[in-house]
Amino acid sequence: MIKKSMSSTNSCRFLINKPIDLNIAITHTLSWQPLIGASAVDKSFIATMVSELASNIIKYATSGYIKLRSYEWPGTIEIEVLAIDNGPGIVNIALAMQEHFSSGGSLGLGLSGVKRIADEFEILSKVGQGTYVFARKNIKVDAELQILSLTTTFYSSIQDRLAAFRTETLITTAHTINVEIGKCIRAYPGQIVSGDQVLALPLKEGYFLAIIDATGHGLAAHKMALTLLTALKTIASPNLSDIMGKLYELSSGQIGAALGLAFFDTGQQTIHYAGIGNTSLVVFNDKKWRAVSRDGVLGQRLPSFIEQFTTFIPGDMAIMFTDGLSESLAHNEAARLRLQDANTIAYRLVDILGKTYDDASCIVLKWNK
């Protein structure tokens, strides 16, 4: 039986119905907040369980979801992986758990492999109703990085929402519109935390977006990015220049950052932008409009800002990204992927175009007709 323990400190959920969902689930399991400070081996164990269970959903059940939960205390963490589907169910569980068995013609290592990795394993299935798989694994983590990751809820909210945050209905004072927002962050290869961070918040008048590229990489850049994001959650508004000034004061004397801010005004059907450093905004409409960031470093040199804006109407798409993506290629790749959902576009841009020597991140905003 599944044991009860302390309150869950974090959870996230991945919808699984096609191969791209499997890739997204694996990528963001590896960067999930509770695994900050875990060894590469333990991260690989958790990602393998997610991969095997998600693959089974795609092969045998067509659709379902994977849910991760963590139970944490200093230096130690329990990770629970749940896979739930409404597929045809398993006729003979004992047979399905045998090595190399597969009713689908593959090697059939999924369930038995997950059981070997896990410290605790349980499977329930009813023919015609679906299957439930539970696995728990205890791992050790770097306590300093674990404590850092728990000082803000922002990092976890990004990872928790990434896969499921495909379409969101935004209700303003005068409009009910269908907006998709996709967000993806990838750390510098070899690092466990990223100096790039992103934020999307609904406001009364529209939608506020922000993308940060803290100077450098690793833990120091990660701390800087989280400091700015915590502040942004409090002061987010349509007044982008005012926000830029406040964050400049907050980051004065620290390592600094590049910052892009955007506001999507749903009533006026416009998108506004102010940026400093190596962040970019491109709007795909009839003009393929590109905003320009000013030279400078937040916290060290702040130029004057002239807020830029363009029309943003149903059918348009905007992407914000850091220089961890090649700008010229990002334009072309985003245009090619435009008919995909926003989350898939964001994931693919980072996966395909992310530089191997930098953090990488982007936000995709689509207003569906």
147 pLDDT more than 80 = no
Pairing of strands 308-311, 76-85: unpaired
Phi, psi of 206 (to 5 degrees): 165, -135
Q: Is 5 or 359 the better-scoring residue by pLDDT?
A: 359
Looking at residue 9, its pLDDT comes to 58
pLDDT higher than threshold 80 for residue 254? yes
Rounded to an integer, the average pLDDT of 26-45 is 82
In the chain, the percentage of residues whose pLDDT exceeds 90 is: 30
Domains of the chain in start order, with CATH, are: 10-144 (3.30.565.10), 167-367 (3.60.40.10)
Confidence of residue 211 (pLDDT cuts 50, 70, 90): very high
Range of weakest confidence among 2-6, 135-139, 326-330: 2-6
Q: Is the pLDDT of residue 161 over 70?
A: no
What SS3 class is residue 318? strand
* Model confidence pLDDT, tens digit, residues 220-243: 888 889 889 888 988 999 999 999
Distance from C-alpha of 142 to C-alpha of 290, rounded to nearest angstrom? 42
Rounded Cα distance, 252 and 244, in Å: 12
CA torsion angle 6 10 15 19 (round to 10) = -110
CA distance 346 to 33: 19
pLDDT for res 324:
86
Q: Left, alpha or beta for 288 (phi > 0: left; psi -120 to 50: alpha)?
A: left
The predicted pLDDT at position 301 comes to: 75
Residue 283 has pLDDT above 80, yes or no: yes
Residue 153 to residue 359: CA distance in whole angstroms:
21
Q: In terms of Cα–Cα distance, which of 157, 87, 162 is closest to 126?
A: 87
- Decide if pLDDT at 148 tops 90: no
- Give the rounded distance of the alpha carbon of 158 from its chain centre: 5
pTM above 0.95, yes or no: no
Compute the C-alpha angle 244/248/249, nearest 5°: 125
Which residue in 120, 121, 123 sits closest to 132, CA to CA?
A: 123
d(CA 221, CA 262): 22
User: Among residues 35, 111, 109, 44, which one has the least CA distance to residue 77?
Assistant: 35
Asked if the model's pLDDT at residue 167 lies above 70, the reply is no
Higher pLDDT, 304 or 263: 263
Taking CA atoms, 353 is separated from 34, 85, 146, 302, in Å, by 27, 33, 30, 29
Q: 83 pLDDT band (50/70/90 cuts)?
A: very high
Sheet strand arrangement including 168-171: 168-171, 176-186, 360-367, 317-322, 279-284, 289-291
pLDDT, residue 354, reads 85
Backbone angles phi, psi at 31, to 5 degrees: -110, 15
Encoded tokens for 335:
């245009």
CA distance 324 to 186: 9
How many angstroms separate the CA atoms of 117 and 113, rounded?
6
Plot region of 114 (φ>0 → left; ψ -120 to 50 → alpha; else → beta): alpha
Burial of 303 (0-12, 13-18, 19+ CB in 10 A): exposed
What is the layout of strands, in order, in the sheet containing 64-73? Answer: 10-16, 64-73, 76-85, 130-140, 120-126
The pLDDT, as a whole number, for residue 331 is 74
